[in-house]
Amino acid sequence: MASAVIKCKAAVAWEAGKPLSIEEVEVAPPKAHEVRIKVVATAVCHTDAYTLSGADPEGCFPVILGHEGAGIVESVGEGVTKLKPGDTVIPLYVPQCGECKFCLNPKTNLCQKIRVTQGKGLMPDGTSRFTCKGKQIYHFMGTSTFSEYTVVADISVAKIDAAAPLDKVCLLGCGISTGYGAVINTAKVDPGSTCAVFGLGGVGLAVIMGCKVAGASRIIGVDLNTDKFAKAKEFGATECINPKDFKKPIQEVLVELTDGGVDYSFECIGNVGVMRAALEACHKGWGVSVIVGVAAAGQEISTRPFQLVTGRTWKGTAFGGWKSVESVPKLVAEYMSKKIKVDEFVTHTLPFDKINEAFELMHAGKSIRSVLKF
């Protein structure tokens, strides 16, 4: 199915620490086992900002960022059997090839089939499909949704219900799925549990939503920004606390508040000090703490081994443990049947040209998710 180069609009990060630049880019046709997608909506996540800041050791420039998007298949390369032009899709930064030892193991969702090239900002054949002003532009997280058209590997695509509103379900490409899955898949929260959620951004709110769905009886939100408390309660938090209001370390406060500690805690920030507090806020004998936030490269976690010897468990999760190709369509179906919230995460909807404004809103803590529409 030969198709031509497409010229379209994209937000290019020419160098670290600079605002994105709206440019006309050329998007090459998909090669074998690749899919070209017309992106309809994309959202901005802290991971995009982390790479843009220059702190990400895997960050390559110039690059087209973006990994929370939704769109329509425009064309497919040879050998693509499960997708066709016109399909409604969500690109996936965690693929699912169904063949590698990770995909064949029910304990993990971390498909490694294209990990090496994806980390280098390239397609599986080691090249890029993007050019701008005569320069090769790198891909990002295998998705690059900050472009009107993008090319992704066919194993990095979830085909979803065509009736789904793309300016909402694009959020299932990262943040909501990650937080919700941390509860359902990684922690496996039981009904009647007490949970603490550190960090009340988009991912933290998705964790709260998951805890509520799982039947937790007490859900404690923890954040330094008291402005986030009302929204957290709307999502299901039973109470919220601000560490600044206490002289003691927050883990001690939580242990007192919960008669010995919480059953489950979730760190949704990426701060190694908070990760320690989240573990130490867990109940002796059975408490489980899940690291959801991604800390900066090179940082290390610490606690006393006695915390684990006395029955606490420390876990981590990526994309909420969902095997992506098979799970994202089910998450879309759960949203369509109103089992999970998505609309409530969208605080701002902006035209794509205002992408830098979306980053500013996020840094200012004024948005949960800003969705950009082409």
Active site residues: 45-47, 67-68, 97, 100, 103, 111, 115, 174, 369
- Look up residue 13 and give its two tokens: 């990060």
Q: State which amino acid sits at residue 252.
A: E
Of 192, 237, 236, 269, the C-alpha closest to 341 is: 236
Give the strands of the sheet with 135-137, arranged side by side: 6-12, 21-27, 130-132, 135-137
Measure the N-to-C terminal CA separation of the chain; round to a whole number of Å: 26
Of 214, 229, 202, 239, the C-alpha closest to 345 is: 202
Taking the CA of residue 79 as centre, how many other CA atoms within 13 Å lie in the half-sphere pointing to its CB?
A: 8
E-assigned strand segments in 67-128: 68-76, 88-91
d(CA 72, CA 38): 5
Alpha-carbon Rg for the chain, nearest whole angstrom, is 20
Q: State which amino acid sits at residue 148.
A: E
**3-class DSSP state of 71:** strand
Of 89, 290, 91, 66, the C-alpha closest to 178 is: 290
